[in-house]
Structures are given as structure tokens and as C-alpha cells.
Amino acid sequence: MAGTTSTGAIPVPFSDPPYLCGLPSPYYTLELRRWQKACRDFISEHLTPYAFEWEREETVPPHVFTTFSKHHMLIPSLPSPLPAKQLKECGIHDILGAVKVEDFTYFHNLIYNDEMIRSGLSGPGASMTTGIAFGVPPVIKFGSKQLQDRFLPDAFHGRTRFCIAITEPDAGSDVANIKTTAVKSKDGKKYIINGTKKWITNGIWSDYAAMAVRTGGPGPGGLSMIVVPLKNHPGVDMRRLKVSGQISAGTTFIELDDTEVPVENLIGEEGMGMRYIMTNFNHERLTIAIGTTRQARVVLSAAFAYCLKREAFGKTLMEQPVVRHRLAKAGALLESQWAWVEQFVYQMCNMKKEDADVELGGLTAAAKAHAGMVLKECADCAVLLFGGNGYTRTGQGEIAERMWREVNGNRIPGGSEDVMLDLMIRQLAKNYQRKTKELERPKGSSKL
């Protein structure tokens, strides 16, 4: 029935995507809806009810990672299509019995990422998924067979943990400025790595990092990627960083002092690191956009519900026109952002990877940036409507205060907001100019 959830309950406005509120959608097949139910049932049992407790404790218990790994519920964080051949070789044929690995699409990924953050807190889920979502794909896509055979089976089954280590104290969105060096030993059998990595999610718990290093000269052409052992490895020192939000995700500072790594740990080829990093970014930014949009949903729907019952000046807040206007402004932004995300996912499902990287790269960056803006608007709206409760770290306004602290954890990682918006326009201009030149080229002439 329209206007009800699958369980028959009446959803608070903005609390779930329209397709879960009884409204029709062209995207979600019966198979996708079964996947959504399987995800919600599993995540509601093992993660969502405990997220606030674990965020306060600043760590998710290790058994949770084990449980998710046992049921292959970290695999959906990988980019689509999944590496079905390698997964099947590792004995992984389906996820929760709801989808075969070869049938997994970006819509399955969208649903999974949306469900993983239904608590509103990104830290607990990210503490488990960030490493496999962004650290393992470079090995899958560009690693040699020996590298894949050594690392993928344990990573897929959760026996080892990965992180992605790109950012440095002086190189964030400016990836080409990375200073960590990897120099071959005299016998040519090892890389000697020196430098630092900062703001590395999951780093403190990771056995390995897919790390960006400088093997050549300055600029992007000098970058490579290497699988670097972390835990208890000589020359590696790690400590946790205290950040504003997402504390349980384990943000880490890594120091590398003459760290020796076998040359066999090189991912792909030397000098190709920038290409590998950029290929990874679209998935990362779309993942962030999905999660950030869900966070906006959580905080805005909480404010909506609060306004229905909170009284001021002899009537509920919902009866005040200025309150309704504030909710409407935030809600319009939220639902527009969700529709944009769905559109991106549809396009990702219906374009070749190489075409999507060119056509959607800048737009995906903008969608990620805009999701952060939408979350800021929704969090600001909620804090103001909750009033003093929204400024308090406990009690009925805790969700608003928490979400407000989570805002900048989405606007900066994966490429800071201004850099992402600039990338959008540069990419659009570049694509337009390229297509214009191709159109103006005389018919029958060869492309130089």
C-alpha cells in the first residue's frame, strides 16, 4: 500500500528513500527489494542497534568484523562488477543467498551502503568496510597473479584487513604532491620506504595498506602503489588520531622508517600509481555520496518527528510556518540529492567502465561534494529545531549533535569540497572541447 513501509508501518517523512515508502520507482526490481530486505535484516541484527554505543566507546568489537566476514557481508562494499571469478575460487558464490556474485550490480552496492549507515553514524560501518572497499580494489584490478593469489583469499574471507593509504600531512586532495619514497635496495629485491601517511581510515587495525609511494621523480608520473605490511612490521609505527566524528572508524597516523617491502608487492607497474589511484576515486566518492545522503535522511527525519511533538508558544513546532519552511528547504535538497545518486548508479550500471570514468568522473566528484552540502543543511536544520537538545551530546537531541560533528568528515575525505567542484567543471569543459573537436574533424580523417 502506498505510504507504508514493507512492514506496514507509516514511515516518518524523509526517513527512507521513496521506493521504501510505498512509492513507485523504475529502478528497484523484486530481486533488488529482496536484497534490500536481506541487508536490512542482517545489519539491523548485527550493527545498527549498537552503533551509538560503539561510537561512544570509539571502537567496534572485533567479533563484529568476524561476523560480517563470515557471512561475506563486506564483499558488497567492493565496486561493481564484483571479481566473480576470484571470489568463486575462494568459495564465495553468493551473499546471504540473496544475490549471486556474478549478478551483483551498482544498485546492490547502493542498497548495501545505504543500509550500513541507517544509524546515522558512519564510523562503525566504515571501521569494517573502508579497507576492503578502497584498499583491495587496486590489487584486484592491477595486481599481478602472484600478488592476487597471496593477498585476495585472506582479504575476501576477513582473515586479513587492508586499508588505503594515500593521504599525507602535506598531500591531501593534491595527490601528485605525495612525498613518501620507495627506493629499491642495492640487490633489487626490496623497496625501502620512508615517509608518513595521515588520516588513514582503518589503519590501526590493518595488516596491509595499498599505499601510494614515490618511486620516481616529481609529479604524477613518479607515483606507484605497493602493498605494505603494517601490523608488527619493522619500521612501521601507527597511532590513532582523534577526529571530530567517525571516531570508531580508526583514523590513523602511519610513520615509515626504512620499512622494507619485497619488490613482488608492487601493484601493477612502477609509475602507474596516479592512474590506479584515480580509477579508485569514482567508487570511493560515490560510496561517500550514498552514505552522506543517508546521514542527511537520518538527521532530518529525526528533526521532523521532534517537531511534531515539541511545543513552544502554545503549539507544536510543526504548526509554526518558519519551522515548516526550514524543513521544506532541507527536504527538497535531500530528495534531489538522492535522485541524483540513483541516476548516477543507473548510469554506472549501463555504461562501460572506461566511458563512465571519462563521462562521470567530474560529476561523481560534484555529487560527493553536494552530498556534504546537503548534510550540512540538514544537520544545521536539525540542531536549530532541536534547540538546546541539539547542542547536547546526550538525550533526545544527541542524533542532531552527532550528525553536526559528522558533516566535515564527509566534506573533506575523498577530495575536499572545493577541489571536487572545480574538478567537475574542468572535466565537463575538457569533455565538451574534446567532443567539439571530434565533431569538427572532417569525415574520413584519422584521429591523430
Q: What is the pLDDT of residues 378-437, one digit of tens each?
A: 999 999 999 998 888 888 888 999 889 989 888 888 888 999 999 999 999 999 999 999
Rounded to 10°, the helix 321-349/273-309 angle is 150
Q: Is the pTM of this model over 0.85?
A: yes
CA 41 to chain centroid, in Å, comes to: 21
Strands 162-165 and 208-214: parallel
C-alpha cell at 158: 576477513
Average predicted confidence (pLDDT) for the chain: 92
Give 34's pLDDT tier (boundaries 50, 70, 90): very high
Say if CB 170 and CB 139 are below 8 A apart. Answer: no
- In the three-class reduction of DSSP (H, G, I as helix; E, B as strand; rest coil), residue 95 is classed as strand
CB atoms within 10 A of CB 354: 9
Give the residue with greater pLDDT, 316 vs 353: 316
Q: Which residue has the cell 535522485?
A: 339
What percentage of the chain reaches a pLDDT higher than 90?
A: 81
- Residues in CB range of 49: below 8 A, 6 or more apart: none
Radius of gyration of the chain (CA): 23
At 263-303, the pLDDT tens digits run 999 999 999 999 999 888 889 999 999 999 999 999 999 99
